[in-house]
Structure 1
Amino acid sequence: MIWDYDGATALGRVKVVSADKTFVHVEYPNGNTAICFSEEPSDFRVGDVVFITETSLETAPPELWPSERSWVGVIKLLHATEAVVEIGSSLQIMPRPQELTLHVGNTIEGTGLETINRVVSDTPIRYLDLANVDDVTIRQFKEPPENTYSFEDFAGSAGIVARAKELIETPLKYHQELEEIGARPIKGVLFTGDPGTGKTLLARIIANRSDAVFYQISGPQIMNKWLGQSEELIRKIFEDAAKQEKAIVFFDEIDSLATQRSDDSHEASRRIVGQLLSSMDGFKRDENVVVIATTNRPQDIDSALRRPGRFDWEIHFPLPGIGDREAILRKSQPRGAAADLPHAIIAEKTDTWSPAELVAIWSEAALFAVADRRKKILEEDYLGGFEQVTTQRARKQAERTSRDEGLIQ
């Protein structure tokens, strides 16, 4: 019997035999497969261990096949003779063992794709389940007061800084005095504006100036890494913040975490919004905590979070005008920048640029200087950096336009 096959000489196991027994589908131990063909019907059956040689398939001792690795899955559906099992992120149909009592939701252990060995738990256990949120977990989001930032680092609208001081720094510094007056505490402030306009930086500056513990929470980070325990994590962070003399709880991109609730909303999103509302409403008058959140899509935030006692105060971060752009370029320039660089010219050419994009000019300029083996950024480096960022902005804008047009179509 002469076999034609697609693979290398090795140990294999028969997975499928065609109806006429001339095609045999063979699996290698590493998961790769081969299809072997013979003009004459074979005697191989599914599960047989074989040697694949240059010219034939030969029966091999079953004990040569490596032991199956066990897997853990969750029963999703049961029929009389079959079970649908969720293993990782995929669904598998396999024979239902009659000797085991199975129920939908059981966590089971099995081997291969044919054998369910035992019930591990009566309830689902999934890969994304996490251990209890503890102090070690909270420390990942917590930064003690540091004197590393000042308002001099924020080169933008003086009006933004003044308003932030009024709404955040003053209540934190004079919490006791405001309580004695009987004023309603300011608990939530929403920073709105385009990406890169300095919202996160100003929050850090205020925390430093106020000697407040700073908790930074990223919406996308919680929704991805902490899916399944986001609510407990938020609750624990608020509890920890309430124990501090002063604290700022900062939510970056809160629109990705607390979108408008509706009948079509994901259950996890509804639970997170509910926990945020509960945590903000649960503050006691003697707890010196201010919650800051950033977004460039305020219309997407659940409306309940914008009511009095929550995020009822807002500071808008506009794109900088020409004077602010020149100030940002001057304040952000590295020590190695030459004197008398044309900041006014660059400021004039960068209408609608964000502070982050302006600062990026210096990174590109430094690359030009280093490539030329210089330790000083000269005018040609500065202009070259401006051209590089201009090109990057144009490319990103083209990508956004193409994506938006695709969505419309």
Structure 2
Amino acid sequence: MSVSGNEVDVSYGSILRVRRVDEEADRIWFDRRDGASGWFRRSLVDNVEAGQILYFPNEADDDNTVKLLSEEDWLVRGGDVATVSLISEDGSTAVLELNGRLQTFAQRETKPFIKGQTIAVDVDGRPGPMLSSEPIDRFGRAEDDLDPASFVVDPGDVTLADFGGSRALVERALELARVALDPEQRLQQIGVNPVKGILFSGPSGTGKTHLARVLSKEIGTRFYLVDGPEIINKWVGESEQRLRSLFRHAEEHAPAILFFDELDSIVASRGDDAPEYASRFVGQFLTALDGFEASHGVLVIASTNLPGALDSALLRPGRLTFKLEFEGHPSPEDRLKILQASARGVRGAEHANWRVLVETTDGWSAAELAMIWTEAGVFAVVDERDELCAEDVAAGLVRAARNRDVSRRQEGRK
């Protein structure tokens, strides 16, 4: 059974996104996941609005009403795969795990589902041919031996005093982290939405990773440092499995901060030109954010230099809800605080001319400011001394400025 719309077959069992409701023409215009579009009569569905995602039931569905789906249901695309997790006792239905979500389908009359199979998924999210008789995480490769514990790192000997950026930003981050990881979960007792995720955005070198480490040290949590190359794998489904294992491990060893460095490199915005594995991984990341409970003692913090490149679904309420922006160009007052904080523990730093350092470094990032002390230390070691002198700091400033200029020129050629 089907309805026709603009020469596009809208088969029952299809998932459609409503593009426009034309009351005058009595039409609902839609887009399909395979890129096709069309329309059908408004009389088929009541109270439809643009942007909604609809599921037209197939003949095997118990409920024959058109259903309103969530945004996550739109993520399934051709090329996805699913694992058969369960067959009902009477054999009439099968439960498939797809992008980290469980979905129920009617058992097939020909080539019926068998528990453990890996199944291809077509553009409408319906099961297709069998790819393997084994689960996807054992398909064509050895077992993944990446231990989630390998992402746990020591935040280091850092304190709030070591972060020389905006005090308002630090206080806001600390406030959110403490509320999110409150062992008594008083926010939940009040009955308001929990703090589950924070996004740090700003140019490189502004202290995003450093502040995440400081928060972990200050509150006393495990600190998971995750970057793209460590978690992304070429095997279909393995990256998603790693992500699920990582979230589970953090919950089992709470309180914990899961810090995703340069998030845009692994969960960039989905689109027609996005590779299939990237869309699957974004879907799994969204599912992981939605699936864990704030009461389990895990806070997700992510950093990005390119907030506009992130998939918009990540920034919706209940996910990376709270956004803290790191300024690329600290004020003179902040530059002084950063210089003094990064010099804490540096022998001979008291010989520095702070006024000259602040006035000379307009537009420098926190990381660039900290390099002054490293370059000064090089001069001292070459001169076989174990303490800085004023000349070392002055020479370190010149060397750091030269390196900064070279880096900026190289970035401009990219």
Q: Does 1:137 align with 2:135?
A: no
In the alignment, the residues of structure 1 paired with residue 295 and residue 176 of structure 2 have an alpha-carbon distance, to the nearest angstrom, of 17
Aligned residue type for 2:350: A
Residue 329 of structure 1 and its aligned partner are, at CA, apart by 1.4
In the alignment, the residues of structure 1 paired with residue 365 and residue 160 of structure 2 have an alpha-carbon distance, to the nearest angstrom, of 18
Q: Does 1:331 align with 2:341?
A: yes
For the aligned residues, what is the CA RMSD?
Answer: 2.5
Residue 328 of structure 1 and its aligned partner are, at CA, apart by 1.6
Comparing 332-341 with 155-164, which one deviates more in the overlay? 332-341
Alignment: residue pair count: 278
8 Å Cα contact 1:245-1:288 kept in structure 2: yes
8 Å Cα contact 2:261-2:303 kept in structure 1: yes
In the alignment, the residues of structure 1 paired with residue 305 and residue 156 of structure 2 have an alpha-carbon distance, to the nearest angstrom, of 28
Residue 317 of structure 1 and its aligned partner are, at CA, apart by 0.8
Aligned partner (choices 373, 379, 383) of residue 362 of structure 1: 373
Aligned partner (choices 334, 354, 367) of residue 343 of structure 1: 354
8 Å Cα contact 1:133-1:232 kept in structure 2: no
Q: Does 1:155 align with 2:164?
A: yes
8 Å Cα contact 1:197-1:355 kept in structure 2: yes
1:321 corresponding residue in structure 2? 331
Cα deviation, 1:235-289, whole Å, max 9, x if unaligned, reads: 1011111223311111000000001101211111111101100001101353221
Residue 133 of structure 1 and its aligned partner are, at CA, apart by 4.3
> Once the two structures are aligned, what percentage of the paired residues are identical?
40
8 Å Cα contact 2:251-2:298 kept in structure 1: yes
8 Å Cα contact 1:255-1:298 kept in structure 2: yes
Residue 224 of structure 1 and its aligned partner are, at CA, apart by 6.3
Residue 338 of structure 1 and its aligned partner are, at CA, apart by 4.8
Q: 1:251 to 1:131 in 2, by over 3 A?
A: farther
In the alignment, the residues of structure 2 paired with residue 377 and residue 167 of structure 1 have an alpha-carbon distance, to the nearest angstrom, of 39
Q: How does 1:208-223 map to 2 (within 5 A)?
A: 208-223=217-232
Q: Secondary structure at the match of 1:365?
A: helix
In the alignment, the residues of structure 2 paired with residue 154 and residue 227 of structure 1 have an alpha-carbon distance, to the nearest angstrom, of 40
Aligned partner (choices 246, 254, 258) of residue 245 of structure 1: 254
Aligned partner (choices 189, 193, 196) of residue 184 of structure 1: 193
Residue 130 of structure 1 and its aligned partner are, at CA, apart by 5.8
In the alignment, the residues of structure 1 paired with residue 141 and residue 187 of structure 2 have an alpha-carbon distance, to the nearest angstrom, of 41
Compute the TM-score of the two structures, normalised by the length of structure 2. 0.63
Residue 183 of structure 1 and its aligned partner are, at CA, apart by 2.0
Residue 132 of structure 1 and its aligned partner are, at CA, apart by 3.4
Q: Secondary structure at the match of 2:232?
A: helix
Q: 1:366 to 1:182 in 2, by over 3 A?
A: same
Residue 197 of structure 1 and its aligned partner are, at CA, apart by 0.9
Cα deviation, 1:177-235, whole Å, max 9, x if unaligned, reads: 22211121111110001111111111111112222221111024333688862111111
In the alignment, the residues of structure 1 paired with residue 351 and residue 309 of structure 2 have an alpha-carbon distance, to the nearest angstrom, of 45
Aligned residue type for 2:212: A
2:95 corresponding residue in structure 1? none
In the alignment, the residues of structure 2 paired with residue 129 and residue 336 of structure 1 have an alpha-carbon distance, to the nearest angstrom, of 56
Q: 1:129 to 1:219 in 2, by over 3 A?
A: farther
2:36 corresponding residue in structure 1? none
Compute the TM-score of the two structures, normalised by the length of structure 1. 0.63
In the alignment, the residues of structure 2 paired with residue 339 and residue 370 of structure 1 have an alpha-carbon distance, to the nearest angstrom, of 18
Displaced runs of 4 or more, over 3 A: 128-134, 223-228
In the alignment, the residues of structure 1 paired with residue 162 and residue 386 of structure 2 have an alpha-carbon distance, to the nearest angstrom, of 24
In the alignment, the residues of structure 2 paired with residue 292 and residue 281 of structure 1 have an alpha-carbon distance, to the nearest angstrom, of 14
1:388 corresponding residue in structure 2? 399
8 Å Cα contact 2:149-2:249 kept in structure 1: no
Query: Can you give the 5+ residue segments of structure 1 that lack an aligned partner in the other structure?
Result: 1-120, 404-409
Cα deviation, 1:141-187, whole Å, max 9, x if unaligned, reads: 0247x783221111111011111012112321355222211121111
Aligned partner (choices 278, 282, 293) of residue 273 of structure 1: 282
Cα deviation, 1:24-68, whole Å, max 9, x if unaligned, reads: xxxxxxxxxxxxxxxxxxxxxxxxxxxxxxxxxxxxxxxxxxxxx
2:387 corresponding residue in structure 1? 376
8 Å Cα contact 2:264-2:309 kept in structure 1: yes
Q: 1:361 to 1:174 in 2, by over 3 A?
A: same
Q: 1:268 to 1:225 in 2, by over 3 A?
A: closer
Aligned residue type for 2:346: R
Q: Higher Cα Rg: structure 1 or 2?
A: 1
8 Å Cα contact 1:149-1:204 kept in structure 2: yes
In the alignment, the residues of structure 1 paired with residue 188 and residue 238 of structure 2 have an alpha-carbon distance, to the nearest angstrom, of 34
Residue 390 of structure 1 and its aligned partner are, at CA, apart by 0.8
8 Å Cα contact 1:130-1:229 kept in structure 2: no
Q: Does 1:236 align with 2:234?
A: no
Residue 373 of structure 1 and its aligned partner are, at CA, apart by 1.8
Q: Does 1:282 align with 2:286?
A: no
